[in-house]
Protein backbone atom coordinates (compact mmCIF):
# COMPACT_ATOMS: atom_id res chain seq x y z
CA UNK A 1 0.00 0.00 0.00
CA UNK A 2 1.90 3.03 -1.25
CA UNK A 3 0.87 6.65 -1.01
CA UNK A 4 2.24 10.12 -0.74
CA UNK A 5 0.59 10.48 2.64
CA UNK A 6 0.03 8.04 5.51
CA UNK A 7 -1.96 8.89 8.63
CA UNK A 8 -1.44 6.80 11.76
CA UNK A 9 -4.20 6.53 14.36
CA UNK A 10 -5.00 4.32 17.34
CA UNK A 11 -8.50 3.27 16.29
CA UNK A 12 -10.05 3.99 12.90
CA UNK A 13 -13.79 3.84 12.28
CA UNK A 14 -14.76 3.69 8.61
CA UNK A 15 -18.23 5.18 8.24
CA UNK A 16 -19.96 8.00 10.09
CA UNK A 17 -23.46 6.59 10.38
CA UNK A 18 -25.28 5.47 13.51
CA UNK A 19 -23.08 2.42 14.18
CA UNK A 20 -19.80 4.23 13.53
CA UNK A 21 -20.59 7.30 15.65
CA UNK A 22 -22.02 5.22 18.52
CA UNK A 23 -18.84 3.14 18.60
CA UNK A 24 -16.58 6.19 18.42
CA UNK A 25 -18.45 7.93 21.23
CA UNK A 26 -18.51 4.79 23.36
CA UNK A 27 -14.75 4.27 23.00
CA UNK A 28 -14.01 7.92 23.69
CA UNK A 29 -16.05 7.82 26.89
CA UNK A 30 -13.78 4.94 27.93
CA UNK A 31 -10.66 6.99 27.28
CA UNK A 32 -9.81 5.70 23.79
CA UNK A 33 -8.83 8.02 20.94
CA UNK A 34 -10.86 7.39 17.78
CA UNK A 35 -10.65 8.76 14.24
CA UNK A 36 -13.80 8.53 12.08
CA UNK A 37 -13.74 8.85 8.30
CA UNK A 38 -16.85 9.29 6.17
CA UNK A 39 -17.11 9.04 2.39
CA UNK A 40 -19.72 11.80 2.05
CA UNK A 41 -18.80 15.47 1.97
CA UNK A 42 -20.57 16.00 5.27
CA UNK A 43 -21.93 13.91 8.09
CA UNK A 44 -25.64 13.26 7.79
CA UNK A 45 -28.35 10.61 7.77
CA UNK A 46 -30.82 9.78 4.99
CA UNK A 47 -34.31 8.47 5.50
CA UNK A 48 -37.02 9.57 7.90
CA UNK A 49 -38.31 7.65 10.90
CA UNK A 50 -36.62 4.96 12.94
CA UNK A 51 -38.09 2.71 15.62
CA UNK A 52 -35.95 2.26 18.72
CA UNK A 53 -36.80 -0.70 20.94
CA UNK A 54 -35.60 -0.81 24.59
CA UNK A 55 -32.32 -2.53 23.67
CA UNK A 56 -31.43 0.49 21.55
CA UNK A 57 -32.54 3.00 24.18
CA UNK A 58 -30.34 1.33 26.80
CA UNK A 59 -27.28 1.84 24.59
CA UNK A 60 -28.17 5.46 23.89
CA UNK A 61 -28.57 6.02 27.62
CA UNK A 62 -25.10 4.58 28.26
CA UNK A 63 -23.69 6.99 25.65
CA UNK A 64 -25.23 9.99 27.38
CA UNK A 65 -27.42 11.03 24.43
CA UNK A 66 -30.83 9.69 25.43
CA UNK A 67 -32.06 12.99 26.86
CA UNK A 68 -31.16 14.80 23.63
CA UNK A 69 -33.03 12.23 21.56
CA UNK A 70 -36.09 12.32 23.79
CA UNK A 71 -36.56 16.06 23.23
CA UNK A 72 -38.29 15.45 19.88
CA UNK A 73 -39.03 11.73 20.08
CA UNK A 74 -42.47 10.14 20.38
CA UNK A 75 -43.39 7.34 22.78
CA UNK A 76 -46.09 5.29 21.04
CA UNK A 77 -48.50 3.58 23.40
CA UNK A 78 -49.35 0.76 21.02
CA UNK A 79 -48.06 -1.07 17.99
CA UNK A 80 -51.04 -2.24 15.94
CA UNK A 81 -50.97 -4.77 13.11
CA UNK A 82 -53.90 -4.41 10.72
CA UNK A 83 -55.08 -6.14 7.56
CA UNK A 84 -54.39 -3.67 4.76
CA UNK A 85 -57.26 -5.01 2.65
CA UNK A 86 -60.09 -5.17 5.19
CA UNK A 87 -58.81 -2.66 7.76
CA UNK A 88 -59.43 -5.16 10.56
CA UNK A 89 -57.03 -5.44 13.46
CA UNK A 90 -54.78 -8.52 13.52
CA UNK A 91 -52.92 -7.97 16.79
CA UNK A 92 -51.68 -5.26 19.14
CA UNK A 93 -48.58 -4.87 21.30
CA UNK A 94 -49.13 -2.67 24.35
CA UNK A 95 -46.12 -0.33 24.71
CA UNK A 96 -47.36 1.39 27.86
CA UNK A 97 -46.30 1.16 31.53
CA UNK A 98 -46.12 -2.67 31.68
CA UNK A 99 -43.81 -2.71 28.67
CA UNK A 100 -41.52 -0.05 30.16
CA UNK A 101 -41.45 -1.80 33.53
CA UNK A 102 -40.42 -5.08 31.92
CA UNK A 103 -37.58 -3.70 29.82
CA UNK A 104 -36.51 -0.64 31.79
CA UNK A 105 -36.84 1.62 28.75
CA UNK A 106 -39.67 2.73 26.46
CA UNK A 107 -40.27 1.98 22.79
CA UNK A 108 -39.43 5.19 20.93
CA UNK A 109 -39.90 6.49 17.40
CA UNK A 110 -37.80 9.40 16.19
CA UNK A 111 -36.37 10.96 13.06
CA UNK A 112 -33.16 9.28 11.89
CA UNK A 113 -31.59 12.71 11.50
CA UNK A 114 -32.34 13.50 15.17
CA UNK A 115 -30.73 10.25 16.33
CA UNK A 116 -27.70 10.74 14.11
CA UNK A 117 -27.44 14.40 15.12
CA UNK A 118 -27.35 13.55 18.83
CA UNK A 119 -24.55 11.03 18.27
CA UNK A 120 -22.66 13.46 16.04
CA UNK A 121 -22.84 16.25 18.63
CA UNK A 122 -21.61 13.83 21.27
CA UNK A 123 -18.61 12.95 19.09
CA UNK A 124 -17.86 16.56 18.20
CA UNK A 125 -17.96 17.57 21.85
CA UNK A 126 -15.49 14.85 22.90
CA UNK A 127 -11.80 15.67 22.67
CA UNK A 128 -10.84 12.06 21.91
CA UNK A 129 -12.94 11.84 18.73
CA UNK A 130 -11.72 13.32 15.45
CA UNK A 131 -14.00 13.41 12.42
CA UNK A 132 -13.11 13.61 8.76
CA UNK A 133 -15.33 13.68 5.67
CA UNK A 134 -14.82 13.17 1.93
CA UNK A 135 -12.76 10.00 2.46
CA UNK A 136 -13.95 7.24 0.13
CA UNK A 137 -12.38 3.96 1.25
CA UNK A 138 -11.42 1.52 -1.48
CA UNK A 139 -10.10 -1.35 0.63
CA UNK A 140 -8.49 -2.60 3.82
CA UNK A 141 -5.77 -5.12 4.65
CA UNK A 142 -3.86 -6.48 7.62
CA UNK A 143 -0.19 -5.52 7.91
CA UNK A 144 2.77 -7.64 8.96
CA UNK A 145 3.19 -5.73 12.23
CA UNK A 146 -0.29 -6.69 13.49
CA UNK A 147 -1.92 -3.40 12.56
CA UNK A 148 -4.23 -2.72 9.61
CA UNK A 149 -4.18 -0.33 6.70
CA UNK A 150 -7.06 1.37 4.94
CA UNK A 151 -6.65 3.03 1.55
CA UNK A 152 -8.81 5.81 0.15
CA UNK A 153 -9.65 6.73 -3.43
CA UNK A 154 -7.42 9.81 -3.26
CA UNK A 155 -4.40 7.73 -2.22
CA UNK A 156 -4.49 8.58 1.47
CA UNK A 157 -3.62 5.59 3.68
CA UNK A 158 -4.59 5.17 7.32
CA UNK A 159 -2.67 2.77 9.54
CA UNK A 160 -4.35 1.81 12.80
CA UNK A 161 -4.08 -0.62 15.68
CA UNK A 162 -7.76 -1.37 15.15
CA UNK A 163 -10.03 -0.80 12.13
CA UNK A 164 -13.82 -0.93 12.48
CA UNK A 165 -15.80 -1.15 9.26
CA UNK A 166 -19.06 0.68 9.84
CA UNK A 167 -19.64 1.58 6.20
CA UNK A 168 -22.99 -0.01 5.61
CA UNK A 169 -24.62 -2.44 3.20
CA UNK A 170 -22.05 -1.92 0.44
CA UNK A 171 -19.07 -1.83 2.75
CA UNK A 172 -15.63 -1.38 1.21
CA UNK A 173 -14.11 -3.07 4.28
CA UNK A 174 -16.25 -6.23 4.16
CA UNK A 175 -14.43 -7.83 1.16
CA UNK A 176 -11.41 -8.35 3.43
CA UNK A 177 -13.61 -10.65 5.55
CA UNK A 178 -15.90 -12.29 2.99
CA UNK A 179 -16.38 -12.13 -0.76
CA UNK A 180 -20.15 -12.03 -1.12
CA UNK A 181 -22.89 -10.05 -2.82
CA UNK A 182 -25.96 -8.17 -1.72
CA UNK A 183 -29.24 -10.09 -1.94
CA UNK A 184 -32.16 -8.28 -3.64
CA UNK A 185 -35.50 -8.79 -1.93
CA UNK A 186 -37.37 -7.58 -5.04
CA UNK A 187 -39.19 -5.17 -2.72
CA UNK A 188 -38.96 -1.40 -2.87
CA UNK A 189 -39.91 1.32 -0.38
CA UNK A 190 -41.35 4.79 -0.81
CA UNK A 191 -41.21 7.16 2.16
CA UNK A 192 -42.83 10.41 3.09
CA UNK A 193 -43.35 12.67 6.09
CA UNK A 194 -46.19 15.18 6.24
CA UNK A 195 -47.59 17.57 8.88
CA UNK A 196 -49.71 15.48 11.22
CA UNK A 197 -52.77 17.66 10.65
CA UNK A 198 -52.92 16.51 7.02
CA UNK A 199 -53.62 12.88 7.94
CA UNK A 200 -56.80 11.35 9.31
CA UNK A 201 -58.07 12.29 12.75
CA UNK A 202 -57.61 8.69 13.91
CA UNK A 203 -53.92 8.73 13.03
CA UNK A 204 -53.33 11.96 14.95
CA UNK A 205 -54.78 10.63 18.21
CA UNK A 206 -52.93 8.51 20.81
CA UNK A 207 -49.38 7.91 19.46
CA UNK A 208 -49.43 4.54 17.73
CA UNK A 209 -47.27 2.60 15.29
CA UNK A 210 -49.60 1.29 12.59
CA UNK A 211 -48.44 -1.73 10.56
CA UNK A 212 -50.79 -2.43 7.66
CA UNK A 213 -50.11 -5.90 6.23
CA UNK A 214 -51.30 -6.85 2.76
CA UNK A 215 -50.61 -9.08 -0.24
CA UNK A 216 -46.99 -8.46 -1.25
CA UNK A 217 -47.08 -5.03 0.39
CA UNK A 218 -47.22 -3.27 3.71
CA UNK A 219 -47.47 0.25 5.10
CA UNK A 220 -45.94 1.60 8.32
CA UNK A 221 -47.19 4.85 9.89
CA UNK A 222 -46.30 6.72 13.07
CA UNK A 223 -45.84 10.29 14.36
CA UNK A 224 -42.45 12.05 14.56
CA UNK A 225 -40.91 15.24 15.94
CA UNK A 226 -43.03 15.44 19.05
CA UNK A 227 -46.15 14.53 17.09
CA UNK A 228 -45.81 17.37 14.57
CA UNK A 229 -44.96 15.13 11.60
CA UNK A 230 -46.40 11.84 10.39
CA UNK A 231 -44.11 9.21 8.89
CA UNK A 232 -45.27 6.89 6.11
CA UNK A 233 -43.31 3.99 4.62
CA UNK A 234 -44.91 2.01 1.80
CA UNK A 235 -43.24 -1.25 0.76
CA UNK A 236 -44.22 -3.56 -2.08
CA UNK A 237 -42.85 -6.33 -4.27
CA UNK A 238 -42.15 -5.39 -7.85
CA UNK A 239 -43.28 -7.83 -10.52
CA UNK A 240 -40.76 -6.27 -12.89
CA UNK A 241 -37.59 -6.66 -10.81
CA UNK A 242 -34.48 -7.45 -12.84
CA UNK A 243 -30.78 -7.09 -12.06
CA UNK A 244 -30.31 -6.00 -15.66
CA UNK A 245 -32.27 -2.73 -15.55
CA UNK A 246 -33.54 -0.11 -13.12
CA UNK A 247 -37.08 0.21 -14.46
CA UNK A 248 -38.87 -1.57 -11.65
CA UNK A 249 -40.65 -0.60 -8.45
CA UNK A 250 -42.32 2.29 -10.28
CA UNK A 251 -45.06 4.66 -9.13
CA UNK A 252 -47.52 2.83 -11.35
CA UNK A 253 -46.69 -0.45 -9.60
CA UNK A 254 -47.07 1.26 -6.23
CA UNK A 255 -50.54 2.55 -7.06
CA UNK A 256 -51.63 -0.76 -8.55
CA UNK A 257 -50.48 -2.71 -5.50
CA UNK A 258 -52.24 -0.35 -3.07
CA UNK A 259 -55.45 -0.12 -5.12
CA UNK A 260 -56.66 -3.35 -3.53
CA UNK A 261 -56.30 -1.95 -0.01
CA UNK A 262 -58.75 -0.22 2.30
CA UNK A 263 -59.37 3.53 2.03
CA UNK A 264 -56.95 4.60 4.77
CA UNK A 265 -54.06 2.70 3.18
CA UNK A 266 -54.88 4.01 -0.28
CA UNK A 267 -54.95 7.58 1.06
CA UNK A 268 -51.42 7.19 2.38
CA UNK A 269 -50.20 7.21 -1.21
CA UNK A 270 -50.70 10.97 -1.19
CA UNK A 271 -48.17 11.35 1.61
CA UNK A 272 -45.27 9.62 -0.14
CA UNK A 273 -42.30 11.23 -1.84
CA UNK A 274 -42.54 9.82 -5.36
CA UNK A 275 -39.14 11.19 -6.43
CA UNK A 276 -37.07 8.62 -4.49
CA UNK A 277 -37.55 4.90 -4.22
CA UNK A 278 -35.50 2.64 -1.98
CA UNK A 279 -34.76 -0.87 -3.31
CA UNK A 280 -34.39 -3.25 -0.38
CA UNK A 281 -31.38 -5.55 -0.04
CA UNK A 282 -29.70 -7.58 2.65
CA UNK A 283 -26.88 -10.16 2.71
CA UNK A 284 -26.58 -13.73 3.87
CA UNK A 285 -25.67 -14.01 7.57
CA UNK A 286 -22.00 -14.76 8.20
CA UNK A 287 -20.37 -16.16 11.32
CA UNK A 288 -17.04 -14.35 10.89
CA UNK A 289 -16.83 -10.57 10.92
CA UNK A 290 -13.14 -10.25 11.77
CA UNK A 291 -9.79 -10.61 10.08
CA UNK A 292 -6.85 -9.72 12.33
CA UNK A 293 -7.04 -6.06 13.29
CA UNK A 294 -10.18 -5.43 11.21
CA UNK A 295 -13.79 -6.06 12.19
CA UNK A 296 -17.25 -5.13 10.96
CA UNK A 297 -20.20 -3.56 12.73
CA UNK A 298 -23.81 -2.69 11.94
CA UNK A 299 -24.98 -3.04 8.36
CA UNK A 300 -21.45 -3.77 7.21
CA UNK A 301 -21.61 -6.95 9.30
CA UNK A 302 -25.29 -7.90 9.16
CA UNK A 303 -27.51 -5.84 6.84
CA UNK A 304 -31.09 -6.90 7.38
CA UNK A 305 -34.51 -6.26 5.92
CA UNK A 306 -36.57 -3.81 7.93
CA UNK A 307 -39.50 -6.00 8.92
CA UNK A 308 -38.48 -6.42 12.58
CA UNK A 309 -37.45 -2.74 12.90
CA UNK A 310 -34.18 -3.85 14.48
CA UNK A 311 -31.48 -2.74 12.04
CA UNK A 312 -30.52 0.37 13.98
CA UNK A 313 -31.05 -1.28 17.35
CA UNK A 314 -28.78 -4.20 16.52
CA UNK A 315 -26.10 -1.78 15.32
CA UNK A 316 -26.27 0.02 18.66
CA UNK A 317 -26.06 -3.31 20.51
CA UNK A 318 -22.98 -4.09 18.41
CA UNK A 319 -21.35 -0.85 19.48
CA UNK A 320 -21.88 -1.58 23.15
CA UNK A 321 -20.49 -5.11 22.91
CA UNK A 322 -17.52 -3.94 20.83
CA UNK A 323 -16.60 -1.13 23.23
CA UNK A 324 -16.82 -3.47 26.21
CA UNK A 325 -14.55 -5.98 24.47
CA UNK A 326 -12.00 -3.36 23.42
CA UNK A 327 -11.60 -1.96 26.92
CA UNK A 328 -11.41 -5.43 28.48
CA UNK A 329 -9.06 -7.30 26.16
CA UNK A 330 -5.29 -6.72 25.78
CA UNK A 331 -5.34 -6.35 22.00
CA UNK A 332 -7.65 -5.47 19.14
CA UNK A 333 -7.30 -9.02 17.80
CA UNK A 334 -8.56 -10.52 21.06
CA UNK A 335 -11.28 -7.89 21.48
CA UNK A 336 -12.63 -8.46 18.00
CA UNK A 337 -12.78 -12.21 18.50
CA UNK A 338 -14.70 -11.76 21.75
CA UNK A 339 -17.08 -9.25 20.19
CA UNK A 340 -17.76 -11.49 17.21
CA UNK A 341 -18.42 -14.49 19.46
CA UNK A 342 -20.97 -12.48 21.44
CA UNK A 343 -22.83 -10.92 18.55
CA UNK A 344 -22.63 -12.85 15.27
CA UNK A 345 -25.04 -15.69 16.09
CA UNK A 346 -27.61 -13.32 17.58
CA UNK A 347 -27.65 -10.87 14.68
CA UNK A 348 -27.71 -13.78 12.23
CA UNK A 349 -30.92 -14.92 13.90
CA UNK A 350 -32.42 -11.45 13.59
CA UNK A 351 -31.45 -11.32 9.90
CA UNK A 352 -33.13 -14.65 9.19
CA UNK A 353 -36.27 -13.84 11.17
CA UNK A 354 -36.56 -10.47 9.43
CA UNK A 355 -36.95 -12.40 6.20
CA UNK A 356 -39.54 -14.69 7.80
CA UNK A 357 -41.43 -11.67 9.13
CA UNK A 358 -41.51 -10.24 5.62
CA UNK A 359 -43.08 -13.43 4.30
CA UNK A 360 -45.66 -13.30 7.10
CA UNK A 361 -46.40 -9.63 6.42
CA UNK A 362 -46.95 -10.15 2.71
CA UNK A 363 -48.79 -13.47 2.54
CA UNK A 364 -52.12 -13.73 0.71
CA UNK A 365 -54.97 -16.18 0.24
CA UNK A 366 -55.41 -18.98 2.77
CA UNK A 367 -52.10 -18.05 4.41
CA UNK A 368 -53.33 -14.53 5.10
CA UNK A 369 -56.53 -15.84 6.67
CA UNK A 370 -54.59 -18.30 8.83
CA UNK A 371 -52.15 -15.58 9.93
CA UNK A 372 -54.97 -13.29 11.01
CA UNK A 373 -56.77 -16.11 12.83
CA UNK A 374 -53.59 -17.23 14.60
CA UNK A 375 -53.14 -13.82 16.22
CA UNK A 376 -56.79 -13.19 17.00
CA UNK A 377 -56.43 -14.01 20.71
CA UNK A 378 -52.99 -12.48 21.21
CA UNK A 379 -52.52 -10.82 24.60
CA UNK A 380 -51.19 -7.27 24.03
CA UNK A 381 -49.11 -7.49 27.22
CA UNK A 382 -47.55 -10.90 26.55
CA UNK A 383 -43.95 -9.97 25.77
CA UNK A 384 -42.30 -13.37 26.14
CA UNK A 385 -41.67 -13.75 22.40
CA UNK A 386 -40.00 -10.33 22.31
CA UNK A 387 -37.59 -10.66 25.24
CA UNK A 388 -34.76 -12.21 23.19
CA UNK A 389 -34.76 -9.19 20.87
CA UNK A 390 -35.88 -6.25 23.02
CA UNK A 391 -34.18 -6.98 26.34
CA UNK A 392 -31.26 -4.56 26.93
CA UNK A 393 -27.82 -6.12 26.63
CA UNK A 394 -26.99 -5.56 30.30
CA UNK A 395 -29.96 -7.71 31.31
CA UNK A 396 -29.87 -10.37 28.60
CA UNK A 397 -26.21 -10.48 27.56
CA UNK A 398 -24.79 -13.18 25.31
CA UNK A 399 -26.66 -15.90 27.22
CA UNK A 400 -30.08 -14.69 26.04
CA UNK A 401 -32.49 -17.45 25.10
CA UNK A 402 -34.26 -17.68 21.75
CA UNK A 403 -37.94 -18.58 21.33
CA UNK A 404 -37.40 -20.32 17.96
Name which of 355, 359, 351 is nearest 389 in CA terms: 351
**Residues noted as catalytic:** 222
CA atoms within 13 A on the CB side of 55: 25
Amino acid sequence: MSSTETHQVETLVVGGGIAGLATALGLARQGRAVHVIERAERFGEVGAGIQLAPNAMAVLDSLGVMDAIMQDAVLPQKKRYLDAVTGEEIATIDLGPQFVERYGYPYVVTHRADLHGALLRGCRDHELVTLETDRAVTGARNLDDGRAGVECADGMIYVADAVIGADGLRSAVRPLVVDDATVPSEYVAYRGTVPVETVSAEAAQTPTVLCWLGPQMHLIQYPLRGGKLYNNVAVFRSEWYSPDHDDWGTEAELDARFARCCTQVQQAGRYLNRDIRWPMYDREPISTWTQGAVTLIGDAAHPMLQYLAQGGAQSLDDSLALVEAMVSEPSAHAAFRRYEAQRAAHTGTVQRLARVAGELFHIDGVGRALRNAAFADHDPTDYTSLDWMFMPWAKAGPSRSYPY
